[in-house]
Structure 1
């Protein structure tokens, strides 16, 4: 059976979907952390950029971080934004994060079953407020997971191990930023110049704010990054 087909092989594996997930694991790292007063989203670009390429607004109430193929991410972001508008109309109010998460999941999963198609080579971390602060992941297979803390992309295995071992329930966002950067530093060699490749969003019900590069550099210095 051709490995180009999105069908189970003799071992019961969907190879194209596995390849897509492997591709995502080589992408620039994204991380998310639910805190007592909001959610921290982190994204690392491969190069310095003046534009936000890792973290996006889907609706005023829902943001996401993406890891994987840029073109695939753009297509799914557009679909999610349309779903957000429709949700507001149908639900007669604020669009719920889970509704948008499910719309991305459906699109991802549909492409694993599409004849002569391929899975989207991108994973998402999505955050919003649905009676409480939430963090979801959606992978190329369309699988949805709910997390308190999670990382996707390069060094994800090492970072997630540290997140699991050192996570504390009662962290503020200020503490959360330091925690995420510390977990990242334990998995990867970090220098101050990398601050210019980082995007960090502080998400609350009242405000969605990106940290300035100078503030990120100061946080890196606080955890012992010197060069």
Structure 2
């Protein structure tokens, strides 16, 4: 509606010194969306730096960070199947999905590293499969708890007073599905691939907290 009004105003000729300007809720929403986009860019940079500080590896931080956009695919599909409009609530929903996916990804990789460093599990498919199985329940419980809390907002529909929450809930639910699949299948596979490309020399093993095996 706002876009149509702007198009009609652009065709209207005002007297010299006069112009039309849209104010009210539409202008406030547009300004809020612009601020949220800038804040999202800053948040993305901060998330990447926190990932690097947590994992102590630029490579693993890049692995988790670059996999995060795939977690939002479900949110995009859910928004398209809904009203097809990504509002302010939708942007908040995407940020929420990013946070959940980043948290699960970091905990999953930390568990892989724990199995290798602390329990002496040799790097390979067995380590990745064991780590994914042991993190299966926590990831599913996080997804189910968050999803069940949002179901009432989806079921009640886009009623007055819930315009922002309804769109946000739909996008989060869709994003939870893809982020869960991402953390359970994609992240372990990529971690296994990246790990297999690293030269695991005795010096590197010692740096990881592992003792080199005697000859």
TM-score range relative to shorter protein:
under 0.3
- Greater helix fraction, Structure 1 or Structure 2: 2
- TM-score (ref. length: structure 2): 0.28
- Greater strand fraction, Structure 1 or Structure 2: 1
- TM-score (ref. length: structure 1): 0.27
